[in-house]
Amino acid sequence: MYMGKAEDRNLLTVGDFRKKIILFALPIFIGNLFQQLYNTVDSLIVGNYLGPRALAAVSSTGSYVFLVIGFFIGLSMGAGTVIARNIGAGDRIQVERSVHTAVALGLTAAVLMSFFGVFCSEAVLKLMGTPADVFPLSAAYLKVYFAGAAGLVMYNTFVGILQAAGDSRHPLVYLIVSSVINIFLDLLFVAVFHMGVEGAALATVISQIFSALLAMRRLVRTDANYGLRIRKIGFDPFNLKEILRFGVPTAVQACVVDLSNMMIQTYINSFGSMAMAGIGAYSKLEGFAFLPVSSFSIAMSTFVSQNIGADNRERAGKGIVFGLLTAVLLIEAIGLTMYLFAPQLVSFFSRDPEVIVYGVGRAKVCTLFFCLMGFSNISSSIMRGLGKPVAPLVIMLVCWCAVRVIVLMTVGQVWHNILLVYWIYPFTWTLSSVTYILYYGRLKKQGVF
């Protein structure tokens, strides 16, 4: 197998696995942090230059956008798992076929996503009960955003291939470049050209297309076995089946979790705007806190996939233990810090005493159990790397979705208390963590790792 000296150094099947996992996860973490920060800046630009209605219009589309995007990102994660396995196995032919099948699937997904987003967004906004005063702005934003969805889909496809090969540094560079372009174009289109929410959407689209082109250029120019050759793009039946086998459960998992969160948000809304603002502020903080876990999740999925592909199960097992312990301790340390400084952190978003009370109330309950949330999320990625993509789907579907919905529809109807919202997350994190521990024991006995 030829990968070239630089590409060979990226392999996660050789060398100190602790160092490999950390060095792979670190650029992903920095990239996620940078993206979170520029998304915040993006909202500040819209809010300050276009006013609260425009900000509400853009913000209110978030759950719908995440739902649609989450499905296609799930497919790209499935493709990454298959490619990583083939790279680990040293099968040049299958690496080549899986890469070009993934790109063909990404192009197909981009067309479907654009069509669905452009022509169905207004109907979805009506189903979501979008207020009449922001409906036109939300619809306009979504049409531009989804019209250029190819950039987002292909960026995730190309970056998924690079990360499957153990390269997390180049995607970081592309993300930083994309973020700077997005902020510059936001200011240009919104503040200078006065293009409104369409300008904000167009800035995002252009920056995503640019980052996708950078990632594609990297794949086209490399001599490694995962390099992209335009004329070879097409579907290989075997690899398409494998990508769908890993990708569809991951995609569905992301969607059902988002749906359950939308239902919980509906319950939160019943407590009024102060509760919405306070818990919303906490959610932004949790988004930052969760970044190390999401970074380790990608790292562990790639590490386990490559080593299982290389039939190095002992190394995979050691890496799993290290990854779980590191991620759990890290996220719990972050959780304890948030617990201690919750009032100060929430007050960054609002000085209103009632808003702070709600935000701190949620933080004081959830942050102490961050270790369980981290354990469950990392375990989900590990299972995918072990070739068990259906297991995390079932576990998350039952524990994080069905249980939450059932509790809200039963207990929530007779006990209308915000504490239910606070405790429903730690409760379901505990359920999923216990289930994963039991499943790990079963896989260990079977000699899976």
Residue-wise pLDDT tens digits, 178-235: 989 999 999 999 989 999 889 999 999 999 999 999 999 999 999 898 999 999 999 9
Average pLDDT in the 320-336 region? 94
* pLDDT of res. 353: 86
User: pTM (2 decimals)?
Assistant: 0.82
Interval 424-435: pLDDT, tens: 999 999 999 999
Number of Cβ within 10 Å of residue 15's Cβ equals 11
The residue-averaged pLDDT of 322-334 equals 94
The predicted pLDDT at position 2 comes to 43
Say which residues have a Cβ less than 8 Å from residue 301's Cβ, sequence separation at least 6.
Answer: 77, 80, 81, 84, 381, 382, 384, 385
Question: How far is the CA of 369 from the CAs of 255, 331, 374, 425, in angstroms?
Answer: 24, 9, 9, 9
Residue 197 one-letter amino acid: V
Question: What secondary structure does DSSP assign to 123-190, as a single string?
Answer: HHHHHTT--TTTHHHHHHHHHHHHHTHHHHHHHHHHHHHHHHTT--HHHHHHHHHHHHHHHHHHIIII
